[in-house]
Structure 1
Amino acid sequence: MATHALRNVAVLGATGSIGASALDVIARHPGRYRASVLAAGQSVDALIALCVAHRPDHAVIADEESYLRLRDGLADAGLPTQAHAGTPALDALVSGPECDTVVAAIVGAAGLSSTLAAARAGKRLLLANKESLVLAGELVTRAADASGTEIIPIDSEHNAIFQCLRSRQAQGDVSRIVLTASGGPFRGRRRDELAQVTREQAVAHPKWSMGPKISVDSATLMNKGLELIEAHHLFGVGRERLDVLVHPQSLVHSLVEFVDGSTLAQLGLPDMRTSLAVGLGWPERIASGVGGLDLLRHPRLEFEAPDTDAFPCLRLAWEAMAAGGTAPAVLNAANEVAVSAFLQGRIGFLSIPALVEDALAALPATPADSLDALLAADAQARRLTDRNLAGHLSP
């Protein structure tokens, strides 16, 4: 049996659903993988509990005011784990010798800095933070190419494409890449039927177990729109070679069509541990804890075109990708503000695409030639959307 050097893994977003799946796969392979760095946003107690279970060398909390709670909690638990707080500390850890593999699963634009740090440092980057590529795709992929970083996407759709291509770049023999979408909890509903949907309905995804923000993005189809932009950067393909199909069974995770008429697809049960196992073990296959796909128990595979009238976020993402420059950053920032307001019960479901469309109209694309320019566009879109919330507040 082949022996493998121990890989030290930093799990960013450790207390979220993807972090939990990553730690589950890592724990199945003691002696081959070890969680050396765990990072979370504000959930100090949950992070300490994970440190008790996995005994990392370092733990990082994004909220700097929570540093003392984390430090004292680790000490009270009798752990040697070192406590850290803030983005600079996390960036230093993912850049340094403390890890050779990074699971980037921090939700939203907050994950960009650590993703860029890992890309610049030549780490194996298991990328679950799609917003990093939406906001700064050219910068991230350029940094990865310069440092030799392996980017292995963890979104099930992009991971499927990666497997079908056996690489991160599509070649000239690829005629079309098709991302599949479950359609979310409101598939088949007309636009006027969506006005009164609740937070609880929107986060109740029919197939995947995800956090609230990603679940709402799935319900609006913005998640698929962000994935289109991500695919554009990951695989080097333009709008003309990208497509989306709704596939409610969520068993075919994406398809790649080649110029000879062949189509390759990756199938599997809807469980993020499969993608994470691919990322950790590539090019080998390792056990993920996910069972095989019994097609006799899942005999129907259905596909349909997305309804961009009822779910205009997908159309808005297409338009932002076509506009290029800072437009995807504006799209992402406005969406984050709108989704947060919806989850707080401040606005209705249909106000999410309306606010995003307003931001894109008010802030035309400018060149995205630096991180400062992208962050400035992100901040401007957040301020504008925050002001525009007043016209959409629920009674």
Structure 2
Amino acid sequence: MVTSTDGPQAPRTVTLLGATGSIGRSTVDLLLADPDRYEVEAVVSGRDVAALANVARALRAKVAVVADPSCYGALKDALDGSGIEVAAGDEAMDDAAARPVDWTMGAVVGIAGLRPTMAAVRRGGMIALANKECLVSAGDVFMREAAEAGAEVLPVDSEHNAIAQALTSGRAGEVSKIILTASGGPFRTWSAGEIARARPENALKHPTWTMGRKVTIDSASLMNKGLELIEAHHLFGVGADQLDVLVHPQSVVHGLVSWSDGSVVAGLAPPDMRVPIAHCLGWPVRLRTNVTPLDLARVGSLTFEPVDHERFPALRLALDALSAGGAAPTVLNAANEVAVAAFLDGKLSFPGIAALVATVLEKAAGRQGLVSAPQTVEDALAIDREARHIASESLNMKLADA
């Protein structure tokens, strides 16, 4: 139970799903800053054995799980003599997520995070959600099961976290619009012609945030912002007509809520993911952190721009998928993952990412089984697999014609 204004009364039990990614590393920093307040049950990662072993030892976790079964031996050797239990594979990830704890960080990247995060939801407790696919691919299922289990979903994305805080200023029926901000990514000032010639190394140079490769590419295309709009729909119960995006290069204002009386409440914070993570980790009280406070005088000015949908069509695709509903968001996400991987492998141009996603959405709209919204996790995973198959077929056809 949280009783102190300085943070949770020790120990708050914690599990980290995605312990070695950018979100996981920031969470580890916060846990190590005040270790007596937390007891770490499990740490889970994809295949980075060395990083996972270091995290497990530093946090004195009870169990460490690596998703890739072929890494089991290496992890066991790395943790030999530590007393930390070692496991590997999808089932082990689900089992670790289902262990009883107060608070779970759900930060496994991609559709691979859906099953373990859902296992944590079904167990109940607080779920700090940093995995987009849970809501984009299976939002109705995820939020329904969270409600049934009494799980509290805490948004980790800086934009959704800012909105969640701003929404405390009024009642749900008084919300006029929810606005997420986007930095604009590395191509904010590039012409369409320059974007068409962009290479992966250009797209990976984000001006503000340090993130994983896939998320960084999504930020460059603004698909990331489209996925966040779909997430906002499920988190806050608003329709596509109440959602909007503004480009804000300073990344200081993370989200705004426009109210029926004409007032606007904005969430401001330095561009440091430890801020929203700390908000979730200490919930319902605020932690003390060593994050450098926001100095608006030093920032000097805050600017905002409309989104150019001609140069960044991915955002429009996401909005259209949200409006279409059904399985469209699940298909969108799967197709985008295939397209981003192809771009990073040099098989697609940067504009080809959105073009491939559009092709897959069009093909999927006419296929039975890819129209209705998933009703279970298994439904969502089946739709995801079929959409990836269509995307791969479409990509191979494009490459063959080139």
TM-score class normalised by the smaller sequence: over 0.9
> Match of 2:371?
366
Deviations 1:115-139 (A, max 9, x none): 1111111121000001110000011
Pick the aligned partner of 1:136 from 135, 138, 147: 138
5+ long unaligned stretches in structure 2? none
> Match of 2:157?
155
Shift of 1:163: 0.9
Shift of 1:363: 0.4
Shift of 1:392: 4.3
> Match of 1:305?
306
> Match of 1:317?
318
The root-mean-square deviation of aligned C-alpha atoms, in Å, is: 1.7
Structure 2 counterpart SS, 1:368: coil
> Match of 1:252?
253
Alignment of 1:38-57 (within 5 A): 38-57=43-62
1:342 lines up with 2:306 in the alignment: no
AA in 2 matched with 1:319: D
1:294 lines up with 2:295 in the alignment: yes
Which whole-Å CA distance do the structure 1 matches of 2:64 and 2:297 have between them? 45
Shift of 1:5: 3.8
Length, aligned pairs only = 391
Which whole-Å CA distance do the structure 2 matches of 1:145 and 1:50 have between them? 32
Which whole-Å CA distance do the structure 2 matches of 1:224 and 1:391 have between them? 29
Deviations 1:131-189 (A, max 9, x none): 1100000111001111111111000000000111239x971011110000000000022
Inter-CA distance 166–283: structure 2 relative to 1 (3 Å threshold): farther
> Match of 1:15?
20
Q: Which moved more, 1:79-88 or 1:207-216?
A: 79-88
> Match of 1:58?
63
Structure 2 counterpart SS, 1:31: helix
Pick the aligned partner of 1:89 from 84, 89, 92: 92
| TM-score of the pair, normalised by structure 1 | 0.95
> Match of 2:210?
209
Which whole-Å CA distance do the structure 1 matches of 2:390 and 2:53 have between them? 37
| TM-score of the pair, normalised by structure 2 | 0.94
> Match of 1:195?
196
Which whole-Å CA distance do the structure 2 matches of 1:64 and 1:23 have between them? 24
Deviations 1:228-282 (A, max 9, x none): 0000000000011111100010000000111111111111110100000000111
1:32 lines up with 2:37 in the alignment: yes
Kept after mapping to 1: 8 A contact 2:270/2:293:
yes
Kept after mapping to 2: 8 A contact 1:23/1:35:
no
Structure 2 counterpart SS, 1:166: helix
5+ long unaligned stretches in structure 1? none
Kept after mapping to 1: 8 A contact 2:65/2:96:
no
> Match of 1:114?
116
Kept after mapping to 1: 8 A contact 2:98/2:120:
yes
Kept after mapping to 2: 8 A contact 1:181/1:250:
yes
Shift of 1:393: 4.3
Kept after mapping to 1: 8 A contact 2:17/2:97:
no
AA in 2 matched with 1:91: D
Kept after mapping to 2: 8 A contact 1:27/1:34:
no
Shift of 1:373: 2.8
Deviations 1:275-294 (A, max 9, x none): 00000111211023211111
1:166 lines up with 2:163 in the alignment: no
Q: Which moved more, 1:27-36 or 1:353-362?
A: 27-36
Which whole-Å CA distance do the structure 2 matches of 1:104 and 1:156 have between them? 15
Inter-CA distance 272–170: structure 2 relative to 1 (3 Å threshold): farther
Which whole-Å CA distance do the structure 1 matches of 2:176 and 2:266 have between them? 14
1:179 lines up with 2:180 in the alignment: yes
> Match of 1:226?
227
Q: What fraction of aligned residue pairs are identical, expressed as a percent? A: 49
AA in 2 matched with 1:114: P
> Match of 1:329?
330
AA in 1 matched with 2:172: Q
Kept after mapping to 2: 8 A contact 1:58/1:82:
yes
Kept after mapping to 2: 8 A contact 1:348/1:392:
no
Inter-CA distance 339–369: structure 2 relative to 1 (3 Å threshold): closer
Shift of 1:36: 2.4
Kept after mapping to 2: 8 A contact 1:348/1:393:
no
> Match of 1:381?
387
Structure 2 counterpart SS, 1:8: strand
Which whole-Å CA distance do the structure 2 matches of 1:369 and 1:54 have between them? 37
Which whole-Å CA distance do the structure 2 matches of 1:306 and 1:221 have between them? 9
Instruction: Give the 4+ runs in structure 1 shifted more than 6 A.
Output: none
Kept after mapping to 1: 8 A contact 2:103/2:126:
yes
Kept after mapping to 1: 8 A contact 2:41/2:63:
yes
1:72 lines up with 2:77 in the alignment: yes
Which whole-Å CA distance do the structure 2 matches of 1:343 and 1:287 have between them? 39
